[in-house]
A and B are shown apart, each in its own frame.
Chain A
Amino acid sequence: MENFEFINAIVLLSNFVIVPALSYGSQLALATLSLTIIYGVLRFSNFAQADWMSFGTMATILFTWLFQSIGITAGILPTALLALPFAIIVTALFCLLIDRSVYSFYRKQKSQPIVLMIVSVGVMFILQAVVRFIIGPNDRKFFDGEKYIVHALDFKNYFGLEEGLTIKSTQLITVIVALVAMISLFYFLQKTKLGKSMRAYSNNEDLALLSGINPEKIVIVTWIISSILITTAGVLYGLDKSFKPFTYFNLLLPMFAAAIVGGIGSPIGAVIGGYVIAFSEITLTYAYKKFFVYLLPENLEPSGLMQVLSTDYKFAISFIILVIVLIVRPTGIVRGKII
């Protein structure tokens, strides 16, 4: 069965590297998009963005529980998808409330971006407290519906291979939802009048104001788009893995890394950055031993695990990449805003 070896190797790689990285990358790309939109329009690095993600996910979980308790489910799909629009509304309203009461003051004063960033640290503290207060700091799973689309065992039996491929339904949902969200965002930014005025405002505030764009409207739309993206990203991540406020807070770092690697302020860059970070995290910590055992003749088989970095450093990888990008090409892959 010489030629099956190659297929086995590919299936193995898809199962453990490509599929997980694709879904994690989509989640990260959505989250990074929201970060980058805030950065592009409101001009500050929002340290609270990861906690907006927990907030949105928490709202979704609460709505999911409500729907489940009155007997509404989405059949084979997770109920959370039904709850998502309601949670987005709540998150957007809370975002706008915080903007009114906190950020708008500094916008009027034309404060430096660094001041707004410190303000966002304060918002971060408050959001963390609110989320932990309402739902608690523990791990929660809120997935229901059909779990697998392709199951490893069925796959093996069907194709007669040694390696199985698992595709969880959440992974497929993630990729589809993320694609839909990204396409509609790019359509909105490029084709609609509101999207164009947003880009104009981001590009040159004074010129945009002169041409009659209402800045308050832009700010409101920005927060709404940001809440849609970040809540969706958080829910997809939570469905795929689980929801825990501290884990979500830790996603802030990969999000920033993705934004800078892709080119901060650039939406396309955010998407690319998200996938780059996700793929590097997973490809660099995967042990390729079995993969090479399939591919190479027996006498060349590797003795070690064939792992570039131990999984302990998964978390640090996004930053190692960030540091390399900062040294080699500080503007990011797609040239973003001027540094």
Chain B
Amino acid sequence: MNEELRTPVAFTVMAILLAIVGFTQSWSVSLSVINLCIISSIMAIGVNLQWGYGGLFNAGVMGFTALGGLTAVLVSHDPIYEAWDKAGIGIVISAIIFVLTVTALLFVFRNIENKQIRNTLIILIIVFGLIGINNFYGPSIDIIESINPAKTGFLGGLGLPIIFSWLIAAVVAGLVAWVIGKITLRLRSDYLAIATLGISEIVIAVVKHEDWLSRGVKNVSGLDRPVPYEIELQQSEWFLNLVERINFSKLEAIQSLSSRQDLLNDLVIDSSGIFVKLCYAGLFFSVLLLIFYLSQLALNSPWGRMLRAIRDNEEAASAMGKNIFAQHLQIFIIGSAIIGIAGAMLTTLDGQFTPGSYRPLRFTFIIWLMVIIGGSGNNLGSIFGGFFIWFIWIEAEPLSIGFMNLLAGGLEYDNPLRMHLLGSAAHLRLFIMGLLLLLALRFMPKGVIPEKIQKK
């Protein structure tokens, strides 16, 4: 197909698919899918910056998403003053010891030439650092976790509006990416993938098990919301009037006053849900537009051209005097910061933080699929990939069940084969994902909306 036409056609098809869900299932479902699609697109743009512009394979997307989610909790949750009063000081002291230990380690590593002295010093610093941290850390977390464990049992957050956390999540994810990048970016590309995959598992392990920080697998729920609650809407005058005006003709058609009131009530309940989702969609969409705009600017700037030059030929770029490591570090930090923002948005949308739900398949490999199928190196492609793959991921389940029903059509209701087929329908979505990836890599390696090579 003509390259110019691909973008509009791809997005039109996507819109039609979402509209079909709206008409056949419900608009509420369609909007939920759209909201997650937008978040996925933002993640995909983050990965696309790293892979499409920089050629870096970051398999730690899950870790940065979780960091974003954690930031959302730490920014928006009310502080638990009791915990801070009783044990906050211990945590602060152990944090200071930790920072001191790491600084000392770095200092020794860089400045002492003699290998024997260096290694002894390193071991001594680690042992003393661990002893020091354990002295303050263990007792403090015991105290913190014993304070009202059923409801809080952690230090809480800053009590700021959750929207702030989106910005702060970018900073947190960026900082962590800086540390990870310093360690891993000098390695060869597939080492980088393995290392980031591992580091993201470490992040998840910390979030899951450090209950004083994140409540661990007990989850944090009831987070602050940037949009109104449904119940508030249902009780406010202006919203009732709005619903009445929109559905004026439908209401007019009903004669009896009581059934008209019933219909109005139903409509108000339905529309309040849709209204809240629309609010989210609006917020998310503006973030997506902003990030898209900025990444396009970056892509077309001299900086973007330099990055692509490095990606396509490291040696040549290096010979031109470009510092490859520094550029890779930059793009790694920026991409991870964007993933962090998406992570915070996701937790905001869910209204809760559930460390147990972070799985590499859902948060790393699916995002990769979006970038590769959408078209690596093209931000529009990533947005399309985010929408398309998320849509398939969600709709694969009802489709698989339908498919299995078709397969098992001739069998009796309690036939064991039929039960097995229907029970396994959920796994078909993994198959579809794998097949899509393989087909795309084979027959459309540049993705649905390929990268535009500009020749000037």
On A, residues with C-beta under 8 Å from B are 44-45, 102, 105, 113-115, 117-119, 121-130, 132-133, 136-137, 253, 256-257, 260, 304, 310, 312-313, 315-316, 318-320, 322-323, 326-327, 330, 339
Cβ contacts under 8 Å, B201 to chain A: 253, 315-316, 319
| A45 with B194: CB separation less than 8 A | yes
**Partner pick for A125 among B189, B195, B372, B434, CB 8 A cutoff:** B434
| A121 with B368: CB separation less than 8 A | yes
Cβ contacts under 8 Å, A313 to chain B: 205, 209
| B365 with A125: CB separation less than 8 A | yes
Cβ contacts under 8 Å, A330 to chain B: 186-187, 191
Interface readout for B420-434 with A: 1 if CB under 8 Å, 0 if not? 000110011111011
| B57 with A323: CB separation less than 8 A | no
Cβ contacts under 8 Å, A121 to chain B: 365, 368, 437
| A105 with B442: CB separation less than 8 A | yes
Bound Cα distance A102, B442 (Å): 8
B residues 344-368 near A (Cβ < 8 Å) are 361, 365, 368
Asked if B208 is at the interface of the complex by the 8 Å CB criterion, the answer is yes
Q: List 8 A-B contacts (CB under 8 A).
A: A114-B193, A119-B437, A122-B441, A125-B430, A132-B427, A133-B427, A319-B199, A330-B191
On B, residues with C-beta under 8 Å from A are 57, 138, 183-184, 186-191, 193-195, 197-199, 201-202, 205-206, 208-209, 361, 365, 368, 372, 423-424, 427-431, 433-435, 437-438, 441-442
Cβ contacts under 8 Å, A123 to chain B: 434, 438
| A260 with B190: CB separation less than 8 A | no
Task: Point out which of A122, A130, A136, A260 has the most chain B C-beta atoms below 10 A from its C-beta.
Answer: A122
**Contacts A122-B438, A129-B431, A326-B184; A253 near B424 (Cβ below 8 A):** no
Task: Point out which of B186, B191, B193, B434 has the most chain A C-beta atoms below 10 A from its C-beta.
Answer: B434
| A312 with B205: CB separation less than 8 A | yes
Nearest chain B CB to A85's CB is how many angstroms away?
Answer: 27
Bound Cα distance A119, B184 (Å): 23
Nearest chain A CB to B64's CB is how many angstroms away?
Answer: 16
Cβ contacts under 8 Å, B423 to chain A: 136
Cβ contacts under 8 Å, B199 to chain A: 319, 323
Cβ contacts under 8 Å, B191 to chain A: 260, 326, 330, 339
| A253 with B197: CB separation less than 8 A | yes
| A323 with B430: CB separation less than 8 A | no
| B198 with A318: CB separation less than 8 A | yes
Bound Cα distance A326, B181 (Å): 12
Chain A to chain B: the 3 pairs with minimum beta-carbon distance, closest first: A125-B434, A129-B431, A319-B198
| B190 with A113: CB separation less than 8 A | yes
Select from chain A the residue with minimum beta-carbon distance to B426.
A132
Bound Cα distance A136, B205 (Å): 26
Select from chain B the residue with minimum beta-carbon distance to A137.
B427
**Partner pick for B437 among A125, A132, A304, A320, CB 8 A cutoff:** A125
Bound Cα distance A44, B189 (Å): 11
Task: Point out which of B194, B365, B423 has the most chain A C-beta atoms below 10 A from its C-beta.
Answer: B194
| B208 with A312: CB separation less than 8 A | yes
